[in-house]
């Protein structure tokens, strides 16, 4: 499953993959794999990203269009 929204939100907020990885306390390559869907993203990271971007977890997971 690709999480296009986390990539789009990162870009819209002028953040690099490294900056988001630092926020999540993980390696940049690990975060890149979350964006590309080659690695499953942990629930606590989904929650942290929702807080970072001020959106719902459903929005991040593409289950809703409501932020």
Q: What is the pLDDT along the chain (67 residues), one digit of tens a residue?
A: 557 899 999 999 999 999 999 999 999 999 999 999 899 999 999 999 999 999 999 999 888 877 7
In this structure, what DSSP letter does residue 39 have?
S
Report pLDDT for 42.
Answer: 94
Report pLDDT for 3.
Answer: 78
Enumerate helices (H) and strands (E) in the chain, giving the number of each: 5, 0
- Tokens coding 49: 């990203």
Cβ 65 vs Cβ 59: under 8 Å: yes
Q: Return all residues near 43 (Cβ < 8 A) that are at least 6 apart.
A: none
Q: Determine whether domain 4-60 maps to CATH 3.90.79.10.
A: no
What is the Cα–Cα distance from 44 to 34, expressed in whole angstroms? 13
Where exactly are the structural domains of the chain? 4-60
């Amino acid at each position: 499953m690709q999480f296009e929204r986390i990539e789009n939100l990162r870009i819209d907020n002028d953040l690099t993959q490294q900056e988001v990885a630092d926020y999540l306390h993980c390696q940049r390559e690990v975060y890149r794999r979350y964006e590309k869907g080659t690695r499953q993203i942990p629930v606590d990271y989904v929650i942290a990203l929702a807080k970072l971007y001020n959106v719902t977890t459903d929005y991040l997971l593409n289950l809703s269009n409501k932020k």
